[in-house]
Chains A and B, each alone.
Chain A
């Protein structure tokens, strides 16, 4: 789970599967967008960070996977197309975008420390002493605030709704006062923006999108085929059980020829259908009843059909 404060929202709660993402990214590029796109998908969270229209960072983090750059973009596309994804776009200042990029690619020093159990003053002193460049992330389940540090000195604060690094600690520290608040300590190399490569310029985004499309379609087809195969297997198994029961009852009532008649009339009633429906069974009872009259009287035939119907009812309940 990637914990980032929500910046200034540009668009929220978009289904990225219904958007032509290459076109949308191109618009962001042409519009010199600075900020980040957050993709919440079933497999994990994807983040694309823009700085003045350049895609400077791409990250995808799932339960057991972490991809960056082109692989992350490809995965974000795939997860978006697979459905059940949510896209939020937030505007940030360039400085904040770079800081967030550094944070996402940094290292975790301490994770999930309870604020109320922590000596904050001691922690800040230690950061200053060790000249740590990075970030303090303070969060609850609903709110997140970041405090950026360069060589042990605070650079600024970032919390939900801000677009730039703020100098006031008020909002950020208010998160620390919330019940259940936790702190992560992260270290990062804050890069100069000039050194950052534009992933969108160096990658064929449309080709990645097309490939993701193909993968998702193939996966979907394969899943559908698997479901169909499994359904077919289950129905075949059910058909065998039903036929076994019908033949057993027919053999008990009419002898060996009864089992043969049940087999034949069942196949005729099925008439190539895959599913043993009520209609099929009704047709079967009629056909068998007619054929069975050649070897047994109406009383025996009726008793046999009644027993079959009871058996099928019980079988359907257990299935």
Chain B
């Protein structure tokens, strides 16, 4: 079974569902949905590179990692906003501002990549480590934040959706944590993986299963949320 294709299909579904959800619902969901939607781009780009002529440039690969970083930051910001709302019952801002600000950050990142020298494999590795580090630590923070949100909105129609989100971040933690472990210990290097074959294999399995379950749970969670918010 080709893990990459399955993962890509699942993220495609999750991305479309979350973007669609961001359009039809309250403003506070925009950042969360846009963040999850961006994962699709971050996942799609590296997978699509072999099939797109001229797209194998290191700048595009660097951009896909940056998109991944932006996506976790945007969705974490969304959960923070929801937490503030659940505590203070106050909500400000508008949807357009979220879209425009996200696009602005993506555009600024592109400019940053383009005005700097082409990223070397070592630079790309660092950018990817930064991305995975953000994902790992913000996943943990988000799990705690969502737990607090759940306590605040307990008994409301949406409350069970937050339990689903906690599950999503557990899977994401598994996926990105395994990847980070592989990168930090350079386990993808054949010389190293030969010395620690079990650790490498286990990390790879965790990463793939985590990725699969994360994609599956994100799509499922947004469909579940859409039903709860009917």
Contacts and interface: CB of A to CB of B under 8 A. Distances in A.
Nearest to A300: B157
A297 B228 contact: yes
Given A257-B86, A257-B152, A299-B230, A294 B91 contact: yes
Nearest to A252: B155
A295 B150 CA distance: 11
B25 A255 contact: no
B229 A296 contact: yes
Interface stretch (A137-145, A165-173, A202-210, A258-266): A258-266
Given A294-B28, A295-B158, A255 B153 contact: yes
Contacts of A258: 156
Contacts of B82: 294
A254 B157 contact: yes
B156 A254 contact: yes
A293 interface: yes
B91 to A, nearest CB: 7
Contacts of A255: 153-156, 159
A291 interface: yes
A256 interface: yes
Contacts of A261: 89
Among B25, B86, B158, residue most surrounded by chain A Cβ atoms (within 10 Å): B158
Interface string A233-275: 0000000000000000001001111101100100000000000
A298 B89 CA distance: 18
Contacts, number: 51
B228 A257 contact: no
Interface residues of B, number: 19
A295 B230 contact: no
Nearest to A258: B156
Interface in A100-136: none
Interface in B153-183: 153-159
B111 interface: no
B89 A260 contact: yes
Nearest to B159: A255
A251 B155 CA distance: 9
Interface string A184-221: 00000000000000000000000000000000000000
Contacts of B155: 251, 254-257
A295 B157 contact: yes
B20 interface: no
Contacts of B159: 255, 295
B156 A291 contact: no
A264 B158 contact: no
A90 B86 CA distance: 81
Given A255-B153, A257-B152, A296 B158 contact: yes
Contacts of A251: 155
Interface of B: 25-26, 28, 82, 85-86, 89, 91, 152-159, 228-230
**4 closest Cβ contacts across the A-B interface?**
A255-B155, A297-B229, A295-B156, A255-B156
15 contacts: A254-B157, A255-B153, A255-B155, A256-B154, A256-B156, A257-B89, A257-B152, A293-B25, A294-B82, A295-B159, A296-B156, A296-B158, A297-B229, A298-B229, A299-B230
